[in-house]
Amino acid sequence: MKINPEYKLRKLAGESVLFLQGEVDGKTSKLMTFNEASVLLWNNFCDKDFETEDVANFILSEYDIDVQTARKDAEEWVEVLRKYGVLD
């Protein structure tokens, strides 16, 4: 899978905000706020093909957590991106 390059992560009023440039549904833009961990994941995977297991391995390399927690967190992150159409 890969992140849709039309989505951009920017700082807005001190928050990390993901948005789709241009119009969505003819009227509005999509916006999503990211926490610090999501920003770290985004910055690592925004220009790469990746699998959920790659995300879990990255989480393991960055945080002192067990494998099950890393896999669960990776699955949740990927599912949210998929739900909102951020993944190609």
Q: Is the pLDDT of residue 5 over 60?
A: yes
38, 26, 39, 79: which is closest to 87 by C-alpha? 79
Residue 22: the pLDDT is 58
Q: Is the pLDDT of residue 77 over 80?
A: yes
The Cα–Cα gap between 3 and 18 comes to: 12
* Tokens standing for residue 58: 């990255």
Residue 16: the pLDDT is 95
Mean pLDDT value of segment 54-74: 98
Mean pLDDT value of segment 25-43: 81
